[in-house]
Amino acid sequence: MSTVVDVAVCLLLVGAAVATLAIAAAPSDDPGTVGAGATAATLATSTAGIPSDGGRTAHDTYVGHLADAALVSATVDERTGGTPHTEADTDADARTETAYPSAVREEVEDSTDERVFVTARWEPYPDAPLCGRVQAGDRPPETADVATTTVSVATGLESPETVDGFRPLAEAVSGAYVRWRLPPARTRTAWIDDRTADEAERRYLATAEAVGLDRPALVTDVTVEDRRERLVDALADRLEDDLRDRYPTPEAAIDDLTLEEVEIVVARWEPST
């Protein structure tokens, strides 16, 4: 494979959620024969190849796909986001910002029965302005007997252990997220090659839209480092304000961070009798 193709494939890589699973059953008072745990176990162990617009196929477990799709969909204040990337997971080389989450949703719905509703949600801390969510299936009727099981999937993003203020904390969280979407070394390599620069530019612009950075400000930058810094700063501005409003100290906020995992809730029900 040529160097150019290698670079293009690397740029298309996304962050596969590490398959570290913690399944905790949370049944309803009278789950009967619902069996949400069995459905969750199937989603956690069964694999699927899910295509993207690029004609490639990403291979992962269903919960891995759901976790990635939630991260792909993450935006600030529900903006339209772009495609994240990672320097890991060679199978996930073609997940685009719109096609992949939709394809994951359809695949999960096709692989479960009509009484299953799955929600995958990622946020760096509870109720953060930055959030990604993917749902599959129909919500249970209000009168149904419902049982739920929760699956936690590691993202590979690391939480800071200590920080000196809310701004450093916001920058640490923002930096981790931007690195996940746009790995520095591989994105830089693509940017300096005329044959891959347009794709790198498109992905930066999509990420800028997701984090709330105006496109004109982004395209006037000169270097990759400048552009990345603008992305981190724009996201950090939003997160810092929210963190200051929500937490008494940075330490309290750190204790509440959840950016290291995606929570997937599997609900299964039987019609009430």
Q: Is 51 exposed, middle or buried (0-12, 13-18, 19+ CB in 10 A)?
A: middle
Average pLDDT, rounded, for the chain? 79
The two structure tokens encoding residue 78 = 């529900």
- Whether 79 has a pLDDT exceeding 70, the answer reads no
Q: Is the pLDDT of residue 93 over 80?
A: no
Residue 212 is predicted with a pLDDT of 83
Mean pLDDT confidence for 194-201: 80
Q: Give residue 119's pLDDT.
A: 97
**Would you say 108 and 24 are in contact if contact means Cβ atoms under 8 Å apart?**
no
For residue 12, pLDDT beyond 50? no
Contact 207, 224 (CB under 8 A): no
pLDDT single digits (tens) 97-139: 457 889 999 999 999 999 999 999 999 999 999 999 999 999 9
Between 132 and 93, the higher pLDDT residue:
132
Q: Residue 218: its pLDDT value, please?
A: 57
Instruction: Tell me the pLDDT tens digit for each residue of 15-44.
Output: 444 434 444 433 333 344 457 899 999 999
Quickly tell me which residue has 């695949």 as its tokens.
107
| pLDDT at residue number 217 | 60
Is the pTM higher than 0.85? The answer reads: no
Read off φ and ψ for residue 235, nearest 5 degrees. -70, -40
Does 183 or 117 have the greater pLDDT score?
A: 117
